[in-house]
Amino acid sequence: MNKQLIIIPIVIFSLILLTFFYLLSIERNPSNIPSNLLEKKVPNFESESLLKNYIFDSSKEFNDEITLVNFFATWCKPCKEEHVYIKRFAKEEKIRVIGINYKDSTKKTIKWLGDLGNPYSNVLLDKNGRIAIDWGVYGIPETFIVSSEGIIKYRHAGPITKKIYKKINKIIMEID
Amino acid sequence: MLKNIFIVLISVFLVHISSNISYTIEPDEILNDQKQELRARNISKKIRCVVCQNQSIDESNAPLAKDLRILIKNKIKEGSSDKEIYKFLTDRYGDFILLKPPFKLSTLMLWFMPFVFFIIGILFLFYHNKKSKKFN
Amino acid sequence: MAPFLGNFSLWLSLFFGTYQFFISKKNSKLKFINIAAKGLLISSLISFFSLLHCHIVSDFSVLNVFQNSHTTKPLLYKISGVWGNHEGSMLLWILVLTIFNYFIFKLYNEKNSSFISKALETQAFITVGFILFTILTSNPFERLFPIQDNGLGFNPILQDPALAIHPPLLYIGYVGFSAVFSISIATLYNSEKIPWHSYMKPFVLTAWTFLTIGIALGSVWAYYELGWGGWWFWDPVENASFMPWLLGTALLHSLIIVEKRKSLQAWVLLLSILTFLLSVIGTFLVRSGILTSVHTFALDPSRGIYILAFTALLGGYSLILFGSKSKKYFDNSYFSFFSKEGSILINNILMVVVCATVLLGTIYPLIIEAFTNNKISVGEPYYNSTVIPIILPAILIMGIGPILGWGKEDKFKTFQKIIPSIFLTIIMTIIIFFVYQTYTFIGIAGIILAFWIISNNLFLLFKKNKKYSIGMIISHLGIGLLILGITGSSVWQKEKITKMKMGENINIKTYNIIFEKINEIKGPNYLALQGNFLVLDNKKQVVVKLKPENRFYPITNNFTTEASIHTNLFRDLYIVLGDGNPNEGWIVRIYYNPLVIWIWIGAVIIFLGGIIALRVNLKKLKISS
């Protein structure tokens, strides 16, 4: 009876260690939170835009083409560093790129885009951060890929790197 | 006079650099209705600050924590129930944002096992006690 | 010179560790084992002090010093900076391992030579494992050229006296259980008549006592430093120290039954193995990068894989060994509930259940992440719902357990014995509620339990009965005080958050607090804004001047808030200064925390009880050998 009893803790011990080993061997960031919006429709929201007199209505805007949504701010250093990739998305991939300007000054944003180049067909103004909350954003920058039916297919938290750029390209091709 | 200028400069310096750091629960956040305020605090204590290390949004300095605190208070004022507020947050941030793990199929083991451990312990004690009565 | 010496000594300690492993296997002559144990100790001392020297003189050619130190750091924190980082703390781990190794060696005599040799072989294996880990993945003596002018500074939140001494004390705890582990491995192999439990006891006492104070100091730091009066967060790394403590407590108690009744031997051996395994798993959680926490060191999966493999090896080996060789330690004696053995058994079961629950809560998010695409959090609400209900009965039984006799006890006689403490408990409870006047179930339960423990042990103390171990009485008393402090500060805390301009005042409880002015302060490596608050009691007498600060450390570009706290036996008054400016005013948070100091007093008293018990135990050991 006693011999069998010791097998239980040994088995549990081994399973726990195997789980840890698995987690260590895959590529993961322990502080990353998975997006809860994947395979769901884009959040419903209305917003001001940099374009004059334009009120952006999300229920009408995501139904035609694949869209890349990029949350950014002028006060965010990694946003500046990834900006070159956002521009490449707009130019090379021929998808629509929308920027959401998070808790920022409109004046500063216009200057920033003027200096660095503007890949966005539209820039929405999220002054109080509510739109970001609706998208489950917890840090800037974050980038989403939305299908032509308005379903969120992918989310990357953090700046776009070369690796992520390639990954997103692949995903865009798959959605098409 | 010079001292006042210095104080203003230092506080502007600190506030400017810490412009992304606000301090926990600021006085203008506090709701007038005490019951609602208590409700808001209780909910906030169960919501994780997702950009901090193991803190609730009630305790945290982070801007996102403040935004969520204010959002919760607004929803309470609008008449949402606690359940609706939790659902609003988990719809956007997933279960990760709850400090008290939800009751789901995947967390069945988590909530169930402590109880099971306890029962096994008690059963073992009774077994031991019974055997002792037999022997002594 | 020092970096080279340090690195050389580190390799030397690897040599001595390996040497000790092989010669104790062969059960060689005393003089060889002597060389091994002493060599191991001395080389690890030299290695540790070399790194200490590098930090003190700010030798930035050493990468570890560059990454963690700065010339403007006060000396105390240059010293504590040695173990405040991953690589340096590994040297501390190794040092404590070799110290305990030496104490195991000191037990060696003709009669127990093969037993102690086996223990030394095991301890050597563990030590070599950690030295190898340090050399391969975390060598503190790595150099950095060209030599930088200054270092990267150090996190200012960690520049605190309590935090400075917290790791060494904690490690004596964690690492001390390695000796207990080694002795239990030796016991499993043993076939001679060896009083293994009397060898084990001083190590269990030492490790447990220092683990207690180590954990307490971590909480003291959190309370005084982090700015909102919390002192326990169920953070994975805190849990990693709490779990060995729980099993260590169970071990301490069941060891008594092994001593007095020769029963539960197999159980004690299993506990010894599990306690140390939890220490090692705790090390894994903190250093592998598998999770993030306020406590974790730099994230590095390769380190994690090494520790995991080492844990698997150590755990697999010891558990399989236990499975095959423990049979001779099983016995068929059973005891009734209502006896000292019974109460200790109940304590053990409950400690294990709490430990299993804490383990489950700590690793569950990782399990969910591995098997689903989801992430969940297991935070304070979970542990409050599960751990507290289980711990309450344990504390209740702790009141009468010590006064029960061995074997079955007369219930009526026992009841007579505890009548005075029941009275005292009721009286004290009524007084407390008269003062604080808030009634919650947890508050009532906590206060009753606290005074239940305190009364029972005060009476035992005054009876001066030689039968009872004074160390035990004092430690139990400490736990009662601890619970008093925990209950008071959790249940009756009052908080006021407000915006104040200079000259304004506010009331909290019976105090009137006046915001006098703001000062600018220059510290050794920081600039600060300091608020001056005058605290008056209800008779308009000045109680204290509180001066909370907001500090800016230019070197690391860090901000910290330093709370200002006035403590007395009844309550803490705690003020934190927030954002603000002279025109609009400043955000001020004021806390009234009742009975907090009893948490720390309680912990120190538990520690004292442990030390007294250890002294008594060592005296007995000397006499018998």
Chains with at least 3 CB pairs less than 8 angstroms from chain C: A, B
Residue B17 has pLDDT above 50, yes or no: no
Biggest CA–CA distance in chain C, Å, is 81
Q: What is the 3-state secondary structure (H, E, C) of C292-327?
A: CCCCCCCCCHHHHHHHHHHHHHHHHHHHHHHHHHCH
Q: Which of A65-74, C162-171, C383-392, C394-403 has the lowest mean pLDDT?
A: C394-403
The type of residue at A9 is P
The letter for the amino acid at A40 is K
| Whether C467 contacts chain A with CB within 8 A | no
Cis peptide before A141 (omega within 30 of 0): yes
pLDDT in tens, B52-61: 877 889 888 7
Specify the DSSP class assigned to residue C492: S
B8/C501: higher pLDDT: C501
Beta bridge partners of C592: C494, C573
pLDDT of residue C293: 66
Q: Which of B50, B68, B91 sits opposite A33 (nearest CB)?
A: B50
Q: Which of residues 32-91 of A touch B (CB under 8 A)?
A: 33-37, 43, 75
pLDDT of A109 higher than 70:
yes
**C299 neighbourhood in chain A, CB within 8 Å:** 30
Chain A CB within 8 Å of residue B57 CB: no
Q: Report the DSSP beta bridge partners of residue B47.
A: B98
Q: Which CATH number fits domain A37-175: 3.40.30.10, 3.30.428.10, 1.10.8.60, 3.10.20.30?
A: 3.40.30.10
Model-level pTM?
0.91
Output the average pLDDT for chain A. 90
Asked whether the predicted pLDDT for residue A1 surpasses 50, the reply is no
Q: What is the pLDDT of residue B20?
A: 34
Coil vs helix vs strand at C129: helix
**C483: Cα separation from own chain's centroid:** 17
Top pLDDT among C605 and B52 is at C605
* pLDDT score for C134: 95
pLDDT score at A155: 95
Q: Report ipTM for this prediction.
A: 0.88
pLDDT per residue as tens digits for the range C403-430: 888 877 778 878 888 888 888 889 888 8
In this prediction, residue B136 has a pLDDT band, given cuts at 50, 70 and 90, of low
Q: Is A133 within 8 Å of B71 when comparing Cβ atoms?
A: yes
C446 CB-side CA count, 13 A = 22
Residue B67 has pLDDT above 70, yes or no: yes
Burial profile C265-282: b = 16 or more Cβ within 10 angstroms, e = fewer = bbbbbbbbbbbbbbbbbb
Q: Work out the percent of chain C whose per-residue pLDDT is above 90.
A: 59
Residues C305, A25: C-beta atoms closer than 8 Å = yes
- Residues C35-55: pLDDT tens digits? 999 999 999 999 999 999 999
pLDDT at C438 over 80: no
Q: Could you tell me whether strands A122-126 and A96-102 are parallel, antiparallel, or unpaired per DSSP bridges?
A: parallel
In the predicted model, is pLDDT for residue C574 greater than 60? yes
Of C260-274, C307-321, C431-445, C478-492, the poorest mean pLDDT is in C431-445
Which comes out higher in pLDDT, residue C163 or A116?
Answer: A116
Distance separating alpha carbons of residues C588 and C523, to the nearest angstrom = 22
Query: Domain extents for chain A?
Result: 37-175
Q: Is the pLDDT of residue A3 over 70?
A: no
pLDDT of residue B27: 66
Sheet holding C571-581, edge to edge: C494-500, C585-594, C571-581, C564-567
Region C609-615 average pLDDT: 96
The model's pLDDT over C303-353, given as tens digits with 9 standing for 90+, comes to 888 999 999 999 999 999 999 998 888 887 777 778 888 889 999 999 999
Whether B64 sits inside 8 A of A130 (CB atoms) is no
C244 pLDDT exceeds 60? yes
| pLDDT surpassing 70 at residue A142 | yes
Helix, strand, coil percentages in chain C from 3-state DSSP, rounded to 5: 65, 10, 25
Chain segment C463-495, per-residue pLDDT in tens: 877 778 899 999 999 999 999 999 998 888 888
pLDDT confidence of residue C337: 79
pLDDT of residue C418: 84
Query: Using the beta-carbon criterion (under 8 Å), do A9 and C327 form an inter-chain contact?
Result: no
By DSSP bridging, strand A152-157 and strand C542-546 are: unpaired
Secondary structure letter of residue B80 according to DSSP: -
- Classify residue C212 by burial, with Cβ atoms within 10 Å: 0-12, 13-18, 19+: buried
SS3 state at A175: helix
Mean pLDDT of A12-40: 87
Q: Is B4 on the interface with C (CB under 8 A)?
A: yes
**Alpha carbons C551 and C554: distance in angstroms, whole number:** 10
Q: Specify the CATH number of the domain B23-102.
A: 1.10.8.640
> Does B96 contact C377 at a Cβ distance shorter than 8 Å?
yes
User: Quick one: pLDDT at residue A11?
Assistant: 87
Q: Which two tokens stand for residue C455?
A: 């009364």
| Amino acid B32: pLDDT | 76
The full set of domain ranges for chain C reads: 1-159, 165-393, 410-492, 494-594
Query: Considering only alpha carbons, which residue of chain B is nearest residue C499?
Result: B27
- φ, ψ for residue B107, nearest 5 deg: -105, 15
pLDDT confidence of residue C567: 92
pLDDT in tens, C62-72: 999 999 898 88
Distance between C374 CA and the closest CA of chain A, angstroms: 7
- Interface probe, candidates C382, C391, C490, C495, chain B, greatest B C-beta count within 10 A: C382
Task: Lowest mean pLDDT of A40-44, B50-54, C246-250, C317-321, name the range.
Answer: B50-54
- C75 phi and psi angles, rounded to 5 deg: -55, -45
Higher pLDDT, A134 or C467: A134
CB–CB of C368 and B106 under 8 A? yes
**Residues of chain B numbered 60-99 and touching chain A (CB < 8 Å):** 63-64, 67-68, 71, 90-94, 96
Residues 6+ apart with CB under 8 A from C511: C535, C536, C537, C538, C543, C573, C592
Put simply, the answer to whether A136 touches B96 (Cβ < 8 Å) is no
pLDDT above 70 (res C299): no
User: Residue A151 pLDDT > 60, yes or no?
Assistant: yes
Contact B93 A33 (CB under 8 A): yes
Q: Which residue has the tokens 């953090």?
A: A158
Q: What is the pLDDT of residues C117-133, one digit of tens each?
A: 999 999 999 999 999 99
E strands in A37-160: 46-48, 55-57, 67-72, 96-102, 122-126, 142-146, 152-157
Which is nearest to A129 in space by CA: C291, C115, B62, C172? B62
Q: Compute the CA torsion angle B77, B83, B86, B91 (nearest 10 deg).
A: -110
Nearest to A137 by CA among C169, B8, C2, B63: B63
**Residue A136 and residue B92: Cβ atoms within 8 Å?**
yes
What confidence category does residue B18 fall into, taking pLDDT thresholds of 50, 70 and 90? Answer: very low
- Could you tell me the two tokens for B77? 């004022």
Confidence at residue C538, expressed as pLDDT on a 0 to 100 scale: 86
C24-28, C375-379, C556-560: which range is least confident on average?
Answer: C556-560
User: What residue spans define the domains of chain B?
Assistant: 23-102, 105-136
Residue C532 has pLDDT above 80, yes or no: yes
């803790």: which residue's tokens? A9
* Residue B16 confidence (pLDDT): 40
The confidence score (pLDDT) of residue C35 equals: 94
Helix, strand or coil for residue C514?
Answer: strand
Nearest beta carbon to residue B22 from set C360, C552, C579 = C579
Q: Which of A54-63, B122-131, C304-313, C511-520 has the lowest mean pLDDT?
A: B122-131
CA gap A56, A144 in Å, rounded: 17
Per residue in C130-175, pLDDT (tens digit) is 999 999 999 999 999 999 888 887 677 778 888 899 999 999 998 9
What mean pLDDT comes out for the span C565-588?
88
Report chain C's mean pLDDT, rounded to a whole number: 90
pLDDT tens-digit readout, C349-367: 999 999 999 999 999 999 9
Q: What is the pLDDT of residue C560?
A: 79
CA dist A60 → A42, A90, A149, B128 (Å)? 11, 21, 11, 70
